[in-house]
């Protein structure tokens, strides 16, 4: 009957580990199949009414940040994006994508929290969010100078995570 004690290491411990790790995961943090793949091509109009295309960014690393005025973590990461833009605007491009929101709400957000200086395009249909496999804002994609998606951040960026992600596309190293 001593074998019954083996049940604890064989069954209970792995089950406990599975539950512990499972419940501590962020269900929104879905691994993106885009990592290592060419970034989707797009052409959209900015909040300022100018047409902007991914082709305009060819040869430069760039950051694509999906945000919305109703998204509280977007407020949290806004200063991080602004600081990164201030520091690296000579070396990279940065694009905001308005996700499931109105232009008026976006303008109010920028009036309140500051205009970072980089453009935001308006994804009215949500097609660009689908092309990038976005689950919900904020989500940020880091694309290198060859147009390959290198990393993705789900949830708000911090100064540390921003530096780490920028390093993956050759910025700040």
- Is residue 71 close enough to count as binding another protein by CB under 8 A? no
- Is residue 68 close enough to count as binding another protein by CB under 8 A? no
Of 35 and 145, CB closest to another protein: 35
Candidates 49, 72, 111, 125: give the one binding another protein (CB under 8 A): 125
Interaction residues for another protein, span 132-151 (CB under 8 A): 132-136
Interaction residues for another protein, span 18-37 (CB under 8 A): 30-34
Tell me how far, at minimum, the Cβ of 85 lies from another protein, in Å: 27
> Which residue in 21, 41, 17 sits closest to 29, CA to CA?
21
Q: Are 17 and 8 in contact (CB under 8 A)?
A: no
Candidates 76, 131, 163, 164: give the one binding another protein (CB under 8 A): 131
- Is residue 44 close enough to count as binding another protein by CB under 8 A? no
* 159: CB partners within 8 A, 6+ apart: 80, 83
What residues make contact with another protein under the rule CB under 8 A? 30-34, 100, 125-127, 129-136
């Amino acid at each position: 009957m001593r074998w019954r004690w083996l049940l604890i290491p064989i069954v209970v411990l792995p089950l406990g580990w599975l539950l512990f790790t499972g419940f501590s995961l962020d269900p929104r943090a879905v691994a993106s199949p885009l990592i290592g793949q060419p970034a989707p091509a797009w052409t959209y109009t900015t909040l300022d009414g100018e047409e902007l295309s991914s082709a305009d960014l060819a040869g430069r690393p760039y950051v694509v940040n999906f945000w919305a005025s109703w998204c509280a973590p977007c407020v949290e990461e806004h200063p991080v994006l602004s600081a990164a833009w201030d520091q690296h605007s000579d070396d990279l491009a940065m694009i905001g994508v308005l996700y499931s929101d109105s232009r008026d709400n976006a303008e109010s957000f920028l009036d309140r929290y500051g205009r970072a200086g980089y453009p935001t395009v308006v994804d009215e249909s949500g097609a660009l969010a689908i092309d990038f496999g976005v689950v919900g804002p904020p989500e940020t994609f880091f694309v290198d100078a060859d147009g390959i998606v290198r990393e993705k951040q789900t949830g708000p960026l911090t100064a540390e995570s921003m530096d780490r992600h920028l390093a993956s596309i050759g910025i700040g190293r």
